[in-house]
């Protein structure tokens, strides 16, 4: 099974540190058996100014580069915004939509998330659609919240008949920026239900369900096949930690082979 491993650098690094991190990760990707053998699909989301140099640094690797946000229109008088059309023109493959921090700090609501998801798909980008409940509770409640968010996020793309493969990043909001991820059994239960929902819709074929929220080395080995991969934040800041996660992909492949 191929594991999808995404990293968002959020706004943690300055420009030079972003370039140094990308160069280190590109060097790992060039030689690591998980990446070379296709066991791991890696995507990296730096800040906007980091995109062109990151695309250059990863050019001779299979690592995909994407953005952390986009605007819902493709062109026009929208000071300060960046369109999906421009991201695609640059060579981006992914774009993150609906992260809890954008909802909480920038007032993005379901309508905005749906418009941005549609803009991503319309421009040939894979939305990394962040879903997750606000407070810790039962798996049933978490699944219900995520399915409602998924439905709402895809509404505008459905209306435009532009639905396609997405990466769902299941991120319980209470586990983001925490010391530990959610309980692996809990993660597996929610990701399993999200997988069932995706499988029920042929138009979403090729979609992935990955887990984010204080994910780091060790989690993937525990999750096994319960999720399609991880969406990493702080615990991928050290490239060596990311390499350990890729080692886990190799070990898991060995187990399932
Ligand atoms: O974008 C990544 C997620 O929000 C997780 O971040 P974190 O691992 O630093 O909690």
Q: Is 132 in the pocket of ligand 1 (CB under 6 A)?
A: no
The pair phi, psi for residue 181, each rounded to 5°, is: -75, 175
- Residue 257, pLDDT > 80, answer no
> Closest by alpha carbon to 62, among 18, 29, 95?
29
Tell me, in angstroms, the distance from the centre of ligand 1 to residue 234's CA.
6
Question: Sorting pLDDT into bands at 50, 70 and 90, what band is 255?
Answer: low
Tell me: the pLDDT tens digits for 149-198? 999 999 999 999 999 999 999 999 999 999 999 999 999 999 999 999 99
Q: Per this entry, what is the length of the chain?
A: 257
Tell me: the pLDDT tens digits for 148-161? 999 999 999 999 99
Atom of ligand 1 at shortest range from CA of 215: 8
Contacts of 125 (CB under 8 A, 6+ apart): 66, 70, 84, 87, 88, 92, 93, 94, 95
Tell me the best of 233, 234, 237, 242 to mutate to test the pocket of ligand 1, counting ligand atoms within 8 Å of each CB and taking the most: 233
Q: Is 182 in the pocket of ligand 1 (CB under 6 A)?
A: no
- How far is residue 233's CA from residue 99's CA, in Å, rounded to a whole number? 12
Q: Is 43 in the pocket of ligand 1 (CB under 6 A)?
A: no
How large is the average pLDDT for residues 58-83?
Answer: 98
The structural domains of the chain, ordered by start, are 3-253 (3.20.20.70)
Q: Is 40 in the pocket of ligand 1 (CB under 6 A)?
A: no
Q: Which residue has the tokens 């991201």?
A: 87
Q: Is 177 in the pocket of ligand 1 (CB under 6 A)?
A: yes
| pLDDT score, position 254 | 81
Q: 7, exposed or middle or buried, with CB in 10 Å at 0-12, 13-18, 19+?
A: buried
Share of the chain above pLDDT 90, in %: 98
DSSP string, the chain: -PEEEEEE-TTTS-HHHHHHHHHHHHHHHHH-HHHHTTSEEEEEE--GGGHHHHHHHTTTSS-EEEES--BSSSSSS-TT--BHHHHHHHT--EEEE--HHHHHHH---HHHHHHHHHHHHHTT-EEEEEE--SS---HHHHHHHHHHHHHHHHHHHHHTT-----EEEE--GGGTTSSS---HHHHHHHHHHHHHHHHT-GGGTT-EEEEESS--TTHHHHHGGGSSEEEESGGGSSHHHHHHHHHHHHHHHHHH-
Tell me, in angstroms, the distance from the centre of ligand 1 to residue 33's CA.
25
Mean pLDDT of the chain: 97
Tell me, in angstroms, the distance from the centre of ligand 1 to residue 64's CA.
18
Atom of ligand 1 at shortest range from CA of 45: 1
Residue 251, CB-side half-sphere exposure with 13 Å CA sphere: 14
Catalytic: 171?
A: yes
């Amino acid at each position: 099974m191929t594991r999808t491993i995404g990293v968002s650098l959020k706004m943690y690094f300055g420009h030079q540190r972003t370039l140094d991190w990308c160069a280190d990760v590109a060097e790992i990707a060039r030689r690591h058996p998980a990446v070379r053998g296709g066991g791991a699909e890696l995507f990296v989301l730096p800040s906007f100014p980091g995109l062109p140099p990151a695309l250059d640094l990863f050019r001779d690797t299979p690592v995909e580069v994407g953005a952390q946000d986009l605007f819902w229109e493709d062109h026009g008088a929208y000071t300060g915004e960046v369109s999906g059309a421009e991201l695609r023109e640059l060579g981006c493959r992914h774009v993150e939509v609906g992260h809890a921090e954008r909802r909480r700090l920038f007032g993005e609501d379901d309508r905005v998330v749906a418009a941005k998801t549609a803009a991503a798909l319309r421009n040939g980008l894979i939305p990394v659609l962040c879903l997750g409940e606000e407070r810790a509770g039962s798996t049933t409640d978490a699944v219900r919240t995520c399915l409602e968010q998924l439905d709402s996020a895809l509404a505008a793309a459905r209306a435009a008949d532009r639905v396609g493969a997405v990466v769902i990043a299941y991120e319980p909001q209470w586990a983001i920026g925490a010391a530990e991820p959610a309980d692996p059994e809990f993660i597996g239960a929610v990701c399993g239900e999200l997988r069932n929902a995706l499988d029920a819709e042929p138009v979403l074929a090729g979609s992935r369900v990955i887990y984010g929220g204080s994910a780091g080395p060790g989690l993937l080995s525990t999750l096994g096949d319960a999720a399609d991969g991880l969406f990493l934040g702080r615990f991928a800041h050290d490239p060596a930690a990311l390499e350990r996660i890729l080692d886990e992909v190799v070990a898991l492949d060995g187990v399932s082979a």
